[in-house]
Amino acid sequence: MRLLATSCLWLLWPLLADAAPSAQAQREIRGLMDALSQSQCSFQRNGSWYPADKARAHLQRKYDYLLKRDLVDTAEQFIDRAASRSSMSGKAYRVRCPGQAEVDAASWFGGRLKALRDSGGAAH
């Protein structure tokens, strides 16, 4: 009986796992990446500063990794699991934009997500 239950669980596991991000979540995540790419901001990771295009490439690799493992369903999860801190060191990422105070990347991306949603930009 136990073997049958275990076998059934393995067969059902793909159905029980989280689904890929919805179309809206994918648009929001792409919108967050675009906001970074189009900004004049620098991105700090593990003590070094990178231009926006290099930061986007790094975050895209992290996002692709999470997608392959079905670990990201929402823009909030993308921010928390990919865009907030180093997976290696655990150190928070930082964003520095001209004329603005340096902030944690989680706050910066959270602000961009709110702006996307308020403008309806992620829903089109």
Buried/exposed code over 8-31 (b: 16+ C-beta within 10 A; e: otherwise): eeeeeeeeeeeeebeeebebbbeb
pTM: 0.81
Residue 2 lies in a domain: no
Residue 8 lies in a domain: no
Is pLDDT of 61 > 80?
Answer: yes
The predicted-structure confidence for 29-45, as pLDDT tens digits, reads as follows: 999 999 999 999 999 99
User: What string of H, E and C letters represents the secondary structure of 108-124?
Assistant: HHHHHHHHHHHHCHHHC
Residue 4 lies in a domain: no
Count of structural domains, the chain: 1
For residue 47, the enclosing domain spans 21-118
Residue 30 lies in a domain: yes
CB neighbours of residue 2 within 10 Å: 6
Res 91: pLDDT: 97
**Joined tokens for residue 49:** 């500063």
Residue 58 lies in a domain: yes
- d(CA 30, CA 48) in angstroms, rounded, equals 24
CB neighbours of residue 36 within 10 Å: 21
Is pLDDT of 47 > 60?
Answer: yes
Residue 14 lies in a domain: no
Chain centroid to Cα 111, Å, comes to 14
- d(CA 11, CA 88) in angstroms, rounded, equals 33
The predicted-structure confidence for 77-120, as pLDDT tens digits, reads as follows: 999 999 999 999 999 999 999 999 999 999 999 999 999 999 98
Residue 114 lies in a domain: yes
- d(CA 18, CA 7) in angstroms, rounded, equals 20
Handedness of CA 34, 35, 38, 40 (dihedral sign): negative
